[in-house]
Amino acid sequence: MKLKDLLNGVEVLDVHADLEMTITGVTYDSRKVTPGCVFVAITGFATDGNLYIDKAMAAGAVAVITGKEQQKDIPYVRVASDRLALAQVGANYYDHPGKAMKLIGVTGTNGKTSSTLLLKHVIEQVLGAKVGLMGTMENMIGHERIATERTTPESLDLQALLGQMRDGGCGYAIMEVSSHAICLERVGGLHYDVAAFTNLTEDHLDFHETMENYCDAKAQLFGRCDHAVINCDDPWAKRICAQANCHMIETSGKTQTGLYAKDVELLSDGVSFTAVYGDKEVPVHVGIPGKFTVYNVLTVLGCALCLGLSLEQAAKALETAQGVKGRVEVVPTPGKDYTVLIDYAHTPDGLENVLSSVRGYCRGRLIAVFGCGGDRDPIKRPIMGKIGVDIADLAIITSDNPRTEEPAAIIRDICKGIDKNNYQVIENRPEAIRYAMDIAQKDDIIVLAGKGHETYQEIHGVKHHLDEREVVAAHLEETRD
């Protein structure tokens, strides 16, 4: 590919390189430069790619794409936005793989992972199609699983993954779209067949500063899609809808509008309701408990309708859907008469949802084990502390990825919101889990909130292996009579 072709559609400010030169690759990581490639210097939060230009050139880069003027005598192209340029260059290099598939994006604070996995299941069951997935837990090409480090990959990596999906025969690609990904142009240049909004609650304010900014970041997704599915029960929905200049399906679990749920039954092993859309009424049963499942399923049904599937087809497929790892996941406790659940709830809304749902069918005591992440929005910490003690019979405050912060300092922040005495502080998370199991009685339910699918604990910047399922199994073995 020639450099001029790589820059197709990119807003170029000036050129100091031969546009006819042939390039053999693209990278934004100076450690991955190979002879003949183009290095895209990205201005980031932790570092600036422009500081690594010399290293990239020494490794064989033939040109640099940057947003800054260069004083050095090197071949480079200056662009208006280095991040958007990376996304556009990636699309050009991989021959716009997103255009070869139906592209579905799901955004929101909670429910993205469950909704995308359920939608993948529906499309596969109804159409027999091969579906790609990008998400918090993992990336998938059909049934092939690929590890992931962030909800939405960097734009160049995202385009490469879309290319793998296209080449692997995927006709659909479903992705979780984070607010960071939208602001940082990781999804720059992509156009979605369907975009969905689940909800918006306090999170990532360390990055966005205000809820209005957070909402507006999410809303940008709905200016680049053909169909929108919006949870209109969310208080931020109107602000989201204002950006959606396209066909829209509003969903509701409360009002008779758009696609809505009536006759809702919340069961210990799932949810049942009647989905209503126009003159259609279809019974729905999904084996995943919790009121939030109703909302996730409505999102999935709305996306299915936008993709041309019938309500009946989608509902039938959902009957065989399995629970998502780390989302109200039941951990085996053979020989015990209490239950342990693992859930990814790490926001105020997420914690309130899972605890309220479990409270609805818990016959004994509800014991909540949770903490808050370090280097993340500190405002939510006391809010989560209050939610934990208000809903649970006992809250055990512990650590949850303190990262570079002191675990005890995070716990003190959580406890500022607590005005009851039904809680314990146990900083070490495995010890907190063992304590909860030791005090559990018949019919009690222990909710381990925050880690979900994760199998590590990051302390002082170092990731340590921690799989809560293993902690539970090991303690059962240690205390076996």
Mean pLDDT of 323-329: 84
Joined tokens for residue 118: 């359920």
Look at residue 205 in the predicted model and tell me its pLDDT. 63
Average pLDDT over residues 9-30: 96
Instruction: State residue 82's pLDDT score.
Output: 96
Could you tell me the pLDDT band of residue 393, with boundaries at 50, 70 and 90? very high
Mean pLDDT of 84-106: 97
Q: What's the fold here for domain 3-93?
A: 3.40.1390
Model confidence at 444: pLDDT above 80: yes
Q: What are the beta bridge partners of residue 341?
A: 330, 447
Of 41-45, 107-111, 167-171, 304-308, the range with the lowest mean pLDDT is: 41-45
User: Same fold for the domain at 3-93 and the one at 329-478?
Assistant: no
pLDDT of residue 147: 76
The 3-state DSSP composition of the chain as helix, strand, coil percent (nearest 5) reads 35, 25, 40
Instruction: Please tell me the predicted confidence (pLDDT) of residue 203.
Output: 63
Nearest Cα to Cα of residue 402 among 354, 352, 362, 346: 346
Q: Which helix (H) or strand (E) holds 78?
A: strand 76-79
How many CB atoms are closer than 10 A to CB 462?
A: 10
Q: Break the chain into its structural domains and give their ranges.
A: 3-93, 97-318, 329-478
What is the Cα–Cα distance from 92 to 163, expressed in whole angstroms?
Answer: 11
69 confidence band (pLDDT: 50, 70, 90): very high
Contacts 24+ apart (CB under 8 A), 208-216: 208/179, 208/183, 211/236, 212/239, 214/179, 215/239, 215/240
User: Is the model's pLDDT at 335 over the cut of 80?
Assistant: yes
450 pLDDT above the threshold of 90? yes
Entry pTM: 0.81
Does 47 or 122 have the greater pLDDT score? 122
Burial of 384 (0-12, 13-18, 19+ CB in 10 A): buried
d(CA 293, CA 362): 17
d(CA 215, CA 237): 9
Among 181, 272, 266, CA closest to 224:
181
Query: Each residue of 223-237: pLDDT tens digit?
Result: 999 999 999 999 999
Which pLDDT band, with edges at 50, 70 and 90, does 264 fall under?
Answer: very high
Given a cut of 90, whether residue 286 has pLDDT beyond it is yes
pLDDT tier for residue 408 given thresholds of 50, 70 and 90: very high
What band does 136 get if pLDDT is binned at 50, 70 and 90? Answer: confident
Model pLDDT, residue 146: 87
Task: Place domain 329-478 in its CATH homologous superfamily.
Answer: Mur ligase, C-terminal domain (3.90.190.20)
Maximum Cα–Cα distance for the chain, whole Å?
76
What's the pLDDT tens digit per position in 37-67?
999 999 876 689 999 999 999 999 999 999 9
Within a 10 A sphere around the Cβ of 166, how many other Cβ atoms?
Answer: 21
pLDDT tens for residues 154-207?
999 999 999 999 999 999 999 999 888 898 999 999 999 999 999 998 665 666
| pLDDT confidence tier of residue 253, bands split at 50, 70 and 90 | very high
Architecture of domain 97-318: 3-Layer(aba) Sandwich (3.40)
pLDDT for residue 358 is more than 80: yes
Q: How far is CA 334 from CA 294, 338, 441, in A?
A: 30, 10, 14
Q: What type of residue sits at position 101?
A: M
Whole-number mean pLDDT of the chain?
Answer: 94
